[in-house]
Amino acid sequence: MHFTTLTLLSSLIATVNAHFQLSYPPPRGPFVDDSEVNFCDNYVHAVSNRSEFPLSGGVVTLNSEHTSWSLGILLSIVQDPTSFSNFTTSSGQQQLARNFASGSGEGQFCIPLDLSSTGISGVQNGANVTIQLVFNGGDGSLYQCADLTLSNSFTIPSSVSCSNGTSSSSSPSATSPSGPQSASKTSSTASTKTGNSASGIAITGFAGGFGLLLAALIATL
Ligand SMILES: [Cu+2]
């Protein structure tokens, strides 16, 4: 009985500790917590309504639910990338639009993503590309994807919240991904910012959900 209870509690804690959500550009589909350990949050095909994204001066925004994490951003120029192998270079390494770097803190983060400076062949005005965020907050690698059409005239909409944040770990240190593949490029020093808008809602929601689950569990003992 006690062992079972502990096991249940552990799995509950593991569930409510998850994860991260890509906010901008919009992901392939609505966030599915349990699927985020899979390729593209288990959305295996590119969407038909791609998002325009600036060739230079782009940003990615996300909500982190972990206090300490790493993030790298993979890029595919395949029209309908359906597997991790579509996000590799000709030599089989991860094709990185942004090198793995560490971040700290929960809540909203705004991360610069200047695709024009990646030097990846095929990254040009009008190109259809897909980015895949690889996030690890200590419970394994998590994945979300966004299908984009690149534009040299498009700018990030003002509705995308990339301000009112305080600078956090202004030059994230480069880390090696824990998987068998490793980053092949040198570290960049772009900063990440963290804000506090909206993050409280998500965290409160999770905490509340956990409390209810815990109460339900205790009631069954
Ligand atoms: Cu998590």
Q: What's the 150 CA to ligand 1 centre distance in angstroms?
A: 30
Which one is predicted more confidently, 42 or 173? 42
Window from 31-35, 44-48, 196-200 with minimum mean pLDDT: 196-200
Q: Where are the alpha helices (DSSP H) in the chain?
A: 2-16, 199-219
Q: Out of 7-11, 111-115, 176-180, 203-207, give the one with best mean pLDDT.
A: 111-115
Sort strands 192-195 and 165-168 into parallel, antiparallel or unpaired. antiparallel
Strand ranges, E, within 30-125: 51-54, 58-64, 68-76, 96-104, 107-113
- How confident is the model over 151-198, as pLDDT tens digits? 999 999 999 988 533 444 333 333 333 333 333 333 333 344 444 333
Q: What's the 122 CA to ligand 1 centre distance in angstroms?
A: 33
Q: What is the pLDDT of residue 219?
A: 40
Q: What's the 88 CA to ligand 1 centre distance in angstroms?
A: 25
Q: What's the 185 CA to ligand 1 centre distance in angstroms?
A: 26
Q: What's the 90 CA to ligand 1 centre distance in angstroms?
A: 31
Q: What's the 125 CA to ligand 1 centre distance in angstroms?
A: 35
Q: What's the 36 CA to ligand 1 centre distance in angstroms?
A: 9
Cα separation, 113 vs 24, in Å, equals 11
- Token output for 115: 């695709």
Model confidence at 26, pLDDT cuts 50, 70, 90, reads: very high
Cα–Cα distances in Å, from 124 out to 24, 164, 190, 192, 221? 20, 31, 21, 25, 60
Identify the helix (H) or strand (E) that includes residue 132. strand 128-136
Q: What's the 35 CA to ligand 1 centre distance in angstroms?
A: 11
Window from 63-77, 90-104, 186-200 with minimum mean pLDDT: 186-200
Q: What's the 10 CA to ligand 1 centre distance in angstroms?
A: 14
φ/ψ bin of 48: left (φ > 0), alpha (ψ from -120 to 50), beta (otherwise):
alpha
56, pLDDT greater than 70: yes
* Closest C-alpha among 212, 210, 219 to residue 16: 210
Q: What is the pLDDT of residue 18?
A: 67
- The domains of the chain, with CATH numbers, are 20-198 (2.70.50)
